[in-house]
Amino acid sequence: MPFESPSMLSIVQDLDLRFCAETPDHAAAIEGICAEAFGPGRFTRAAERVRERVPHDPALSLVALLGGEVVGSVRQTRVAIGGVPAVMLGPLAVRPRFKKRGIGRTLMAMAAEAARLSGERAIFLVGDRAYYMPLGYRPLPVGSVTMPGPVDEERILGLELEPGAWVGVSGLVGPRL
């Protein structure tokens, strides 16, 4: 599935980057990038508790490739919050050498578009407001989204893919029934 758009052309030309949906061939490289970015502590995160129960969806997950090498990755998982479908985004990571060139925000934009095109209405993540709010994410009401593990609720951020998609959504994050 190719993901390219005119707004990303300058990055693509500068770096000979390509963005595509994740395939099984990318798994080992993504694991390496996440180990480099988050260290062993990544396995203790609340989001990891969700991903243990619900595998991420490769069709909603993207890699940035430079000369065939994976230099960035974003994954998304189809979950439910109190029974309402939503997408959980993460992890997002870019190889240190390739940071600050727009790869992260390009992966984020493409992830949102892939989710929207597949019929999803809302995405959430646990992350830094300073990075994600300029990308359209907004804090969700504290207490509305319950993760299966400790999390700083101020860091739970949501993106509407349809207006009003977050209204009244509340409950435990888990598998869809």
Ligand X SMILES: CC(C)(COP(=O)(O)OP(=O)(O)OC[C@H]1O[C@@H](n2cnc3c(N)ncnc32)[C@H](O)[C@@H]1OP(=O)(O)O)[C@@H](O)C(=O)NCCC(=O)NCCS
Query: Per CB under 6 A, does 173 bind ligand X?
Result: no
The answer to whether 48 and 93 have CB atoms below 8 angstroms apart is: no
Which phi-psi region, left, alpha or beta, contains residue 39 (left: φ > 0; alpha: ψ -120 to 50)?
left
Query: Per CB under 6 A, does 37 bind ligand X?
Result: yes
Number of residues that bind ligand X (CB under 6 A): 15
Query: Per CB under 6 A, does 94 bind ligand X?
Result: yes
| DSSP-assigned states of every residue in 78-108 | EEEETTEEEEEEEEEEE-GGGTTSSHHHHHH
- Collapsing DSSP to helix, strand or coil, 156 comes out as strand
Q: Which is nearer to ligand X, 84 or 101 (CB)?
A: 101
| Residue 96 exposure: Cα atoms within 13 Å on the Cβ side | 5
Q: What is the CA radius of gyration of the chain?
A: 16
Query: Per CB under 6 A, does 99 bind ligand X?
Result: yes
Site for ligand X in 116-145 (CB under 6 A): 127-128, 130-131
Q: Which is nearer to ligand X, 127 or 174 (CB)?
A: 127
* CA of residue 177 relative to chain centroid, distance: 22
Q: Which is nearer to ligand X, 39 or 168 (CB)?
A: 39
Q: How far apart are CA 170 and CA 168, in angstroms?
A: 6
The stretch near ligand X (CB under 6 A) out of 23-31, 101-109, 145-153, 159-167 is 101-109
Q: Which is nearer to ligand X, 44 or 83 (CB)?
A: 44
Query: Per CB under 6 A, does 147 bind ligand X?
Result: no
Query: Per CB under 6 A, does 103 bind ligand X?
Result: yes
